[in-house]
Amino acid sequence: MSKASNTKIKALRCPTCRNIVLASNEDFPFCSDRCRRIDLGKWASGDYKVSTPVQDPDLLEELVRSHKHNSQNEE
């Protein structure tokens, strides 16, 4: 079991440029307004294929692994 399953996100990587972004950043989860706009543009043009929100990279990796085994085990 994860010891930090309910921890608030404090930092993650900007979906656009992969820089580390702190949760205190006003443009979180993006590092800047520019990256936010670029990302929104990708969504609008259907460039994205991933439907799950990006969370803490380490936590996300863990979730992806467990989901591959238990994807239909909810509810």
Structural contact between residues 56 and 9, judged by C-beta atoms closer than 8 angstroms: yes
How far is it, in rounded angstroms, from Cα 33 to Cα 21?
A: 12
- Taking the CA of residue 10 as centre, how many other CA atoms within 13 Å lie in the half-sphere pointing to its CB? 3
Q: Which one of 7-15, 48-56, 57-65, 67-75 is the stretch in contact with Zn ion (CB under 5 A)?
A: 7-15
How far is it, in rounded angstroms, from Cα 36 to Cα 56?
A: 18
14 lines the binding site for Zn ion (CB under 5 A) = yes
Judged by CB under 5 A, the number of residues near Zn ion is 5
Residue 38 or residue 60: which is nearer to Zn ion going by CB? 38
Applying the rule CB under 5 A, the residues between 29 and 58 that interact with Zn ion are 31, 35
Interacting residue with Zn ion among 17, 59, 60, 63 (CB under 5 A) = 17
**Which residues of the shown chain bind Zn ion in the complex (CB under 5 A)?**
14, 16-17, 31, 35
